Structures are given as structure tokens and as C-alpha cells.
Amino acid sequence: MKIRNSLRSVKGRERNCRIVRRKGRVYVINKRHPRYKVRQG
């Protein structure tokens, strides 16, 4: 999982990307392609 400052570019990479907030952190998760997993904060 990569840690990024901004998730705006990551979100638009693929159709299945979802933005999720958990415990004050923002994640991009993608069930179909797990390599797109990203965390912010």
C-alpha cells in the first residue's frame, strides 16, 4: 500500500476505485485490482 499526499489522481485511475474513510485516514481501495490500494494521512 502506498501513502500519498493527495488521492485525487489515484481515484480516477480505474472505475472500481472507491474512497473510504476509516479512523481518520482516507483510503482508496479496489477489490478487482488490489495494486491500486492507497492511504492518505
CA distances, 24 to each of 13, 21, 32, 33, 39 (Å): 23, 7, 25, 24, 11
Where helices occur in 1-41 by DSSP H, the ranges are: 8-11
User: 1-41 pLDDT, tens per residue?
Assistant: 889 998 888 888 889 999 999 999 999 999 999 999 999 98
Q: What is the pLDDT of residue 8?
A: 86
Considering the entire predicted model, what is its pTM?
A: 0.79
Name the DSSP class of 22.
E
Q: Compute the chain's Rg from CA coordinates.
A: 9
Coil, helix or strand for 5? Answer: coil
